[in-house]
Amino acid sequence: MSQELMNSLATYAPIILMGIIFYFMLYRPQKKEQQKRRELLDGLKKGDRVVTIGGLHGTIMGLNDKIVNLRIADRVEVTVSRASIHAQQNDNK
């Protein structure tokens, strides 16, 4: 019985090992990135300086659940999807 258990363990060990590697190399880092992005989008507020995925730099003038109004120049405002915000800018840049 013990030899049979060892044989089945030896058969399934590579599959289990690959599952563990998959979790730590692919799934876990992706979940961390998704969490950081969600925190970025949830933390947006009026007056924040942001960069969109398309490369527009602007200041948030208003926002709701799905839409952000950005001032990109004097008297020039554009409306973009909240999901298109890529990053926040620091004030020292």
Residues 23 and 2 in one domain: yes
pLDDT of residue 91: 65
Average pLDDT over residues 49-62: 95
When divided into structural domains, the chain yields a total of 2
The answer on 35 and 14 residing in a single domain is yes
- pLDDT of 56-66, one tens digit each? 999 999 999 99
Label residue 55 left, alpha or beta by phi (over 0 means left) and psi (-120 to 50 means alpha).
left
Distance from C-alpha of 48 to C-alpha of 87, rounded to nearest angstrom: 10
Name the pLDDT band for 93 (thresholds 50, 70, 90): very low
pTM of the model: 0.70
Domain extent, residue 13, equals: 1-42
My answer on whether 28 and 50 are in the same domain is no
For 92, phi and psi rounded to 5 degrees?
-85, 5
Q: Are residues 30 and 51 in the same domain?
A: no
Same domain as 61, residue 38:
no
- Residue 52 and residue 10 share a domain: no
- Chain segment 72-90, per-residue pLDDT in tens: 999 999 999 999 999 998 7
- CATH number where 63 lies: 2.30.30
* Pair (55, 37) in one structural domain: no
pLDDT of 13-48, one tens digit each? 999 999 999 999 999 999 999 999 999 999 999 999
